[in-house]
Amino acid sequence: MANRPGVVNIPQDLDRAIQEAVARGELSIPPYPAVAMRIQDLVARREYGLGDLSKVVASDPVLTADVLRCANSMIYRRGGSVAGLGQAITRIGAQEVARLALSSGLAVHAQAPGSLAALKRATWIDGVASAVLCQVLARQRGLRAEEAFVLGLLHDFGTVVITSAVEGLIQAKGIGPRPIEDWRALVERHHVAAGAAVAERWGLPGLVREIIQLHHVPEGAGCSDPALMALVRGSDQVVGLMGQLPTVEAADLAAAPDIAPAERELVVKVIERIPSFVAAFEGPSPPPPQVPSAVAPSLTTLGAGERQVTFGVQVTHERRPRSYVAVAVSHGGLVLLGSDPLPERQLVELDLQCQPRPFKVWSTIQACRPEGSGLRVDAKLFGLGGEARAAWTQLYAAAQRPG
């Protein structure tokens, strides 16, 4: 997770309660995903066939759906789409399936309902993006790609654990809504300690523990594998840029010191493929929350430069399209009006029915709140690249300026 310093408008007794819970070992740490462990054991024995692996994957319906969607994502897709589990596993590969099983198992906890569900979803997107970047860059640098993916995925998972702990304390103490950045700054102060507790409970290897504990130390000093540490730190720097910019270009990566100039074009291409991979782990929405959100709504989330538009938008959520109308665009996103609520910080695909030609973009839902007789949705572009970037630039240039 990129470091986001700032003043935290959070009661001090809540901060102390979190610190004490960590020190006493009272965090609720989920078990290591059981199916992931079974697949890892099977692959490690090297005495298995496609049928053996398919049987284990098929024992978990959520993982089965995730593997099929991942096989058809931009990360793995080669040629036509696949519909069978055996075909999907063959395309992805056994080692990759083992890592996807870990991702799928952890996604359940990152997407759980709660008063800080929006923060957990945002953290999960960052973690999966980091894992993909680590894996691709590891191959480029001649490092261990399978280990790099796991490091990218797990090094900040303590944030999900500590956020769940904060949710319990919010309810117990009756604390009202705060801006998401205040909650983010709070959990970042404790996420390393929580990550260390997760590593201890799961019995993770020593290098994983080092990466968790040292990735915010200047230059990762003290890590026994500086190359893998630099890889994780570089992925964090890129993920931070993805959170700030709707599209990350090679020149922007000058702000990521652990990404070499020769790697920048590769990273740009990887960023364009990340959204569909992240979305592959999006399961059905949880039931309506039993507690109100602790994240205070923002007055605006898209910044200056809004321009008026009117065109239809199909938003793919829960595997089905929902209809909205775009009423404004900015450099980094658009405003939609509709009647279907969308979870904040959810990653969704938008099909823009605009002129001169329709096109699709990925976005994260920054806000969803009542307006008039319906809902206003602020959608921030995510991982925009390629033809979609050129189409968006044309759309914005042609949009009507207010007044």
* Domain boundary pick from 238, 263, 279: 279
Residue ranges in 245-382 assigned as alpha helix (H): 264-279
* Domain boundary pick from 279, 294, 321: 279
- Same domain as 311, residue 217: no
Please state the domain count of the chain. 2
Which residues are CB-contacts of 383 (< 8 A; sequence separation ≥ 6)? 242, 247, 248, 271, 272, 274, 275, 362
Is the confidence at residue 402, as pLDDT, over 70?
no
Residue 286, pLDDT score: 56
**Residue 39: inside a domain, yes or no?**
no
Closest CA to 217 of 204, 230, 208: 230
| Measured distance CA(182)–CA(119) in Å, rounded | 11
Residue 400, pLDDT score: 74
User: For residue 17, which phi and psi values (nearest 5 degrees)?
Assistant: -60, -40
- Same domain as 263, residue 120: yes
- Same domain as 116, residue 248: yes
pLDDT (tens digit per residue) in 120-151: 999 999 999 999 999 999 999 999 988 999 99
Residue 2, pLDDT score: 46
- Same domain as 392, residue 267: no
For residue 303, name the pLDDT band (cuts at 50, 70, 90). low
**Residue 90: inside a domain, yes or no?**
no
Written as one letter, the residue type at 164 is S
Region for residue 114 given its phi and psi (left: phi exceeds 0; alpha: psi -120 to 50; beta: otherwise): left
* Domain boundary pick from 230, 259, 279: 279
Residue 238, pLDDT score: 98
Residue 219, pLDDT score: 82
Low-confidence winner among 44-48, 105-109, 233-237, 352-356 (lowest mean pLDDT):
44-48
**Residue 375: inside a domain, yes or no?**
yes
pLDDT (tens digit per residue) in 305-355: 789 999 999 998 777 789 999 999 998 999 999 999 998 889 999 999 998
Q: Do 336 and 316 meet the contact criterion of CB atoms below 8 Å apart?
A: no
- Same domain as 356, residue 272: no
**Residue 197: inside a domain, yes or no?**
yes
For residue 116, name the pLDDT band (cuts at 50, 70, 90). very high
Burial of 358 (0-12, 13-18, 19+ CB in 10 A): middle
- Same domain as 226, residue 181: yes
Mean pLDDT score, 49-70? 92
| Measured distance CA(63)–CA(61) in Å, rounded | 5
For residue 77, name the pLDDT band (cuts at 50, 70, 90). confident
| Measured distance CA(79)–CA(89) in Å, rounded | 15
**Residue 64: inside a domain, yes or no?**
no
Residue 136, pLDDT score: 95
> Is the peptide bond prior to 11 cis by the omega test (within 30 degrees of 0)?
no
Residue 315, pLDDT score: 93
184 CB-side CA count, 13 A: 19
- Same domain as 373, residue 333: yes
Q: Where are the beta strands (DSSP E) in 300-346?
A: 307-317, 320-329, 333-338
Burial of 171 (0-12, 13-18, 19+ CB in 10 A): middle
The domain of 204 spans: 12-30+111-279
Give me 299's structure tokens.
């007055």
Closest CA to 278 of 91, 69, 25, 96: 69
- Same domain as 184, residue 332: no
pLDDT (tens digit per residue) in 255-300: 999 999 999 999 999 999 999 999 888 766 555 556 788 988 776 6
Residue ranges in 216-340 assigned as alpha helix (H): 226-244, 264-279
The domain that holds 320 is classified in CATH as 2.40.10.220
Residue 285, pLDDT score: 59
Residue 283, pLDDT score: 65
For residue 3, name the pLDDT band (cuts at 50, 70, 90). very low
Which of helix, strand or coil describes residue 320? strand
- Same domain as 271, residue 362: no
Closest CA to 376 of 337, 329, 332: 337
Give me 395's structure tokens.
């759309």
The domain that holds 205 is classified in CATH as 1.10.3210.10
Closest CA to 1 of 219, 193, 192, 200: 192
| Measured distance CA(273)–CA(219) in Å, rounded | 28
**Residue 87: inside a domain, yes or no?**
no
Residue 284, pLDDT score: 63
Count the neighbouring beta carbons within 10 Å of the beta carbon of residue 54.
19
- Same domain as 117, residue 250: yes
- Same domain as 372, residue 327: yes
**Residue 45: inside a domain, yes or no?**
no
**Residue 290: inside a domain, yes or no?**
no
- Same domain as 208, residue 118: yes
